[in-house]
A and B are shown apart, each in its own frame.
Chain A
């Protein structure tokens, strides 16, 4: 941080009489009050901007199509009902099958759970080795791993398609789990490595003197301390894998498609009359799991986000 530049112009000091000081103080207090009012108004306008799409999405999903045509975005639903939700969940037609998003919703969980477990598990071990069993070039290796966080995934689509075909995993859940594992460990390694760097080495030294080995130190000393970063990594990976579209659309065949791909197909490729209420209900369904995670554990979500950007 640059040290604060010296202030070029300071206010000239005048000798003021008591009355003048009094008016000055009062004027300052008033401008302060107006300032506070403006700040609060701006904050509320911003809150409305960020909330509006969510409100519109939920309200539209509770309306019927005639009501959508006669009303406007922000008119309250006259007879709120879950018909559109039922349709989006189990009846809406996506390309040729008319079974709604429920199957894809389950698919997303089938893909997300093993991807998260694997990438977080290996990330923890990698972080442990890279900080507590340092070897020459450990930082370089970390740098190489880190680059995986930032590559545009277009660069791996072609070889990944060939590789999944070669392994016989094309279009399967296992294929997508593998893909998410490969491109998730860079992040989880980053999280655990930055967390374990701040765990004092002295804790380990005394355990080593007591004869504890590689695994004993990890399980008995580091893991019990790790739960905050485990939560951060799980949330990060859950959100990323759940929200993935590119890998899902590239590598998942019809029946194994995750919910993001199915939602996009529902909204953008279905033919016939557009059912906006069903589209919005589908969007809410696809968004619910990550929104829930965010509401319950927003603090950890934030930490993940920040450690991706700011080291610490």
Chain B
């Protein structure tokens, strides 16, 4: 009798345990494993040839890694900035009682359903200097028009930004739109009665009130930027030269094609730290804020 009661009490935890086990191993255990590998001289396979922290100075002194981090800073900041600004603008425009809102929203959001590989392949074609936009604009009579970003080492990173923003701007739009829809109407109509023009109401009242949405959009986009891999592979393969290498492509090629696994693991740890620095405080505050309610 008593043992069946105990069984009944243990059942929910038993149901949860396969997932907990899988996450404990697959997320936390594997993170620990990679950290340990980053302390070794592993080449093609993991080994336990301990070198302490020596892979990290090697990483920071590696010019390919330095390029990848610089590219990430350029790509990440432009990607976050452009998709937030574009997303906010789209949300405000759509929030003006537009009759075709549903159709437009569908159009702005469909890129999110695509694989980054598809996006990369299509934009590679569009940005192809010989056959893409450049050729089209020249055929309109602008004979000297140039759009060779994808073959120019200084500009290729902006191709990644462009395609990335094309893919995710709809997501920020959706976040801002739901923020706008959830806003306290009274504040806005009070300002309107005061006779203030609409743009000023946006500037002084509505946009400042969207601060929490800006934070969420930043967090979502920042972690997407750090994880970006497929898009670069499909659009530029990291080139021309090293012009569009990111930490993710550095990690992959260092580990699996250059067989320098210890160094690759160290770069993966740096990526994790970057994401954790953004996500952990955010998740912590979200879950804390929720506690009194539940």
Contact = CB atoms under 8 A, between A and B. Distances in A.
B126 A146 contact: no
B287 A245 contact: no
Interface residues of B, number: 111
Given A47-B107, A72-B136, A147-B27, A245 B230 contact: yes
A293 interface: yes
Given A50-B166, A309-B220, A10 B131 contact: no
Interface in A63-79: 68-69, 72-74
A185 B8 CA distance: 24
B223 A150 contact: yes
A117 interface: no
Contact of A1 (B18, B171, B183, B233): B183
B78 to A, nearest CB: 17
Contact of B104 (A43, A264, A267, A306): A43
* Interface secondary structure of A, over-half rule: helix
Interface string A242-257: 1111100110000000
Interface stretch (B51-59, B153-161, B260-268): B260-268
* Interface secondary structure of B, over-half rule: helix
A223 interface: no
A125 B16 contact: yes
B209 interface: yes
Interface in B186-232: 187-188, 190-191, 194-196, 204-205, 208-209, 211-212, 216-217, 220, 223, 226-227, 229-230
B19 A145 contact: yes
Given A51-B107, A156-B26, A293 B46 contact: no
Contacts of B283: 143, 146-147, 150
Given A150-B223, A152-B248, A245-B229, A158 B110 contact: no
B201 to A, nearest CB: 9
A227 interface: no
B104 A2 contact: no
A264 B113 CA distance: 18
B212 A1 contact: yes
B115 A260 contact: yes
Contacts of A158: 33-34, 37, 46, 255, 261, 264-265, 268
A267 B120 CA distance: 10
B124 interface: yes
B209 A159 contact: no
Interface string B159-184: 00000001000110011001000011
Contact of B27 (A126, A151, A291): A151
Contacts of B136: 72-74
Interface string A77-108: 00000000000000000000000000000000
A191 interface: no
A214 B110 CA distance: 40
A139 interface: yes
B248 A60 contact: no
Given A152-B227, A245-B115, A306-B174, A4 B190 contact: yes
A221 interface: no
Interface of A: 1-5, 7, 10-11, 36, 39-40, 42-43, 46-47, 49-54, 56-57, 60, 68-69, 72-74, 122, 125-126, 128-130, 133, 135, 139, 141-148, 150-160, 162-163, 181-183, 185-186, 189, 197, 213-214, 239, 242-246, 249-250, 260, 263-264, 267-268, 276, 279-280, 282-283, 286-287, 290-291, 293-295, 298, 301-302, 305-306, 308-311
28 contacts: A1-B209, A7-B191, A39-B93, A46-B90, A53-B123, A73-B132, A142-B287, A150-B275, A152-B226, A152-B268, A154-B267, A155-B31, A155-B268, A156-B26, A158-B34, A159-B46, A189-B19, A197-B294, A239-B113, A243-B116, A260-B118, A260-B230, A267-B121, A268-B234, A276-B125, A287-B114, A291-B110, A310-B216
